[in-house]
Structure 1
Amino acid sequence: MGKRVSVRYLTGEPEPAPAFTDAVGVLTSWTESTLSITRRTGETVRIAESSLVAGKVVPAAPARRRGPAASAPELDRVAARAWPPVTGEPLGEWTLRASGGFTRRANSVLPLGDPGMALDEALRQVIEWYAARELPAYIQVSTGAEGAQELLAAELETRGWTREVSARISVAALAPIGDLDADTSAVTLSRHLDDAWLARYQRSSGEPSPEARTVLSGGPSVWFATVAEPEGGAPAAIGRCVVDGRWAGFTAVEVAPERRRQGLAKAVMTALARKALDEGASAAYLQVETDNDGAHALYEGMGFTVHHTYHHWRASGQDSR
């Protein structure tokens, strides 16, 4: 239990010819003659014990051919520092985060470690803490890498929590991004979050909330990139980078719809990467929702590879925001 396994099992009747398939993931339960295996994507596969053919324990995480090495908790902590909540409160080794509802990342529990109490009591306190702030209770849970939390995901599922909005964390060496053949002459870098930048930011609808400004401005070393339109108005492209030790985290890279496929996203990434290299960073990461195929293709072309996936689990009976 809790180990990464590879199993082969029957998918149909054994006659006239048996059909087999394989499943690889973390064994999260084995009850009532049924195994549950959580894949790296967070999907749960349930297999009848009677259909098992073979199985073995395999390494906790696949060997990585490219990109910097890191555990899931290391990356999750770094990413959390780059997207800091307005309010954070410990629950044992868990962190309860609230930011007035601005993004699930800043309004969810980061459960890295032991909450210091039985799980059911911890979940009760989580629900009460968010209810006091008129927010739904979310827990951010990672799957698919060393130190990830497949067992917690399985426990939440058995208690009726709902998995929503999955995203992939991808990593890359930083120097090749800074060396991309991109025209960065139109990119302006600033420490200051201004109204022009926010005018392009897709999560801004009307006047950005104070919580949004606080989250976006927070982090160890924050840089904002802007490509202005010659005629004024909202910028043609924006981006944000947070430098934290060896890591440079890229967020909010956005391009005006009419200016896409002109190399502006590459220019923004390249300019920010060069600034992060100047500050001593050597590794890059970014977070993209799993269904954003265009963004995944763009970043794969820059050398990013998927490290792991995280999911937001919402408490049973609560509306999402």
Structure 2
Amino acid sequence: MEISAKGRLEVRITPADVGKRVSVRRLGETGSGSEKFTDTVGVLTSWDGGVLMITRRDGERVRIPETTLVAGKVVPAAPARRRGPAATYPELAHIAARAWRPVESERLGEWELRAAGGFTRRANSVLPLGDPGLPLDAALAAVRRWYGERGLPAYVQTATGAEGTQELLSAELERRGWVREVTAELWTGALAPVADRAGGAGVVLARTADEAWLARYRRKGVSEVALRVLGSGPSVWFAAVPGAAEGEPPAAIGRCVVDGRWAGFAAVEVDPGRRRQGLATEVMAALARRALDEGASAAWLQVETDNEGGRALYRALGFLPHHAYHHYRAPEEPGSGRQSGAARGPEATAGPGRP
């Protein structure tokens, strides 16, 4: 907190600091006989009508009446990472996008509109990096039209929690009634420690996803469009641990995309009856060794915020959260009673377990 030369706490932020990362202290509960304070760190996304809105790293928005402020200051845009590969948000956003390509895309200024028949939100959402070349309302109207023409719901993928992420855009979408449906995180780590894990001798690697691999993949009835998305990326590898008996689905599977210095892991899935036997680690180790052979040195993956088992595994492998990302769905069209575009079955984003 900011402390004056006289030792008092001071509020050293103003509405002119909207868009900056701030740390504030405010009065909490009252009437308990003693003052209680609450600290909040995040991006100041608005300051209107005597109320501050601060977006935390995970995308949560905190409403703070300015009358409760005790202290506040602008802080560095993102904390320094103490270990793991250095990376900016734009770099990782482009890397992740190349690892999970849509079957159709179109530019709206610097934004990319992506569609793949409804197979995952990642391949059927706008990646809003940069300027769309239009005022925001006009850009969002164009987005809704584009997805509506394809019979798809309109989604915008945003990110929070790192330098260059889109807290302000997320706040503007929420003001316009767009609904955040999914939040996940992108984690990064060094590749060598993953490759150094013991095991992996029984893992089979292939360039394509065969019927056995797809039998373990959690999405049943994978379409031709889905196969195109799964096979997209600069250098794609599929891994499988054969089942206990001939004809059984693999005990574990995984996917890795090598792109320059980066290796991205996805679709790491294990037979429920074989979990906690180290199979996920074996799959990732085998894929990591292949990625090292191709010149990669850093790794990334995406994981849901509620996937406690996966998060524990990835942390043990040396991964740390880099930023959170979110999918915002367009609200119903005014007067229509429906959303622009019809959803095509359940969709999920995120992690090595659920692409």
TM-score > 0.5 by shorter chain: yes
1:270-291: CA deviations, max 9, x gaps? 0000000000000000001111
Partner residue in 2 for 1:185: 201
What residue is the counterpart of 2:211 in the other structure?
Answer: 195
Which residue identity is paired with 1:48?
A: P
2:132 is aligned with 1:118? no
Check if 1:247 corresponds to 2:262: yes
Between the aligned partners of 1:9 and 1:101, the Cα distance in structure 2 is 44
Spell out, residue by residue over 1:56-85, the C-alpha distance to the aligned partner (whole angstroms, 9 max, x if none): 111111111111111111111100100000
Distance 2:33 2:254 in 1: 58
3-state SS of paired residue (2:106): strand
- Work out the percentage of aligned pairs sharing the same amino acid: 66
User: What is aligned with 1:217?
Assistant: 231
1:82-115 deviation digits (Å, cap 9, x = unpaired):
0000111110000000000000000000001000
**1:28 equivalent in alignment to 2:45:** yes
Distance 1:245 1:184 in 2: 23
Shift of 1:16: 3.2
Question: C-alpha deviations, 1:225-279, integer Å up to 9, x for none?
Answer: 0111141221111000000011000000000001111111010000000000000
Please tell me whether residue 290 in structure 1 is matched to residue 305 in structure 2.
yes
Structure 2 contact 244–251 (Cα < 8 Å) conserved: no
2:57 to 40, 47, 51: 40
Corresponding residue SS for 1:199: helix
Aligned partners of 1:292, 1:140: CA distance in 2, in Å?
20
Match of 2:186 among 144, 169, 177: 169
TM-score by length of 2: 0.88
Quote the Cα distance in structure 2 between the aligned partners of 1:200 and 1:78. Answer: 26
CA distance in 2, matches of 1:138, 1:272: 31
Q: Which of residues 245, 249, 256 in structure 1 aligns to 2:271?
A: 256
Instruction: Give the greater-gyration-radius structure (CA).
Output: 2
1:10-32, CA deviations, whole angstroms, 9 ceiling, x for partnerless residues? 11337732110100000000000
What stretches of structure 2 of length at least 5 have no aligned partner? 1-17, 333-338, 347-355
Q: 1:103 aligns with which of 95, 115, 120?
A: 120
Pick from 11, 14, 20 the counterpart of residue 3 of structure 1.
20
2:136 partner amino acid: L
Q: Deviations over 1:140-184 (max 9, x none)?
A: 000000110000000000000000111110000001111112x11
Gaps of 5+ in 1: none
Query: Structure 2: how far apart are the matches of 1:94 and 1:233?
Result: 43
Say which of 86, 99, 106 aligns to 2:103: 86
Q: Tell me the amino acid that sits aligned with residue 274 of structure 2.
A: R
Residue range with higher mean Cα deviation, 66-75 or 241-250 = 66-75
Matched letter for residue 116 of structure 1: G
Structure 1 length normalisation: TM-score?
Answer: 0.97
Question: Aligned ranges for residues 220-239 of structure 1 at < 5 Å?
Answer: 220-231=234-245, 232-239=247-254
User: In the TM superposition, what is the alpha-carbon distance from 1:224 to its structure 2 partner?
Assistant: 0.4
1:276 paired with 2:291, answer yes
CA distance in 2, matches of 1:212, 1:15: 57
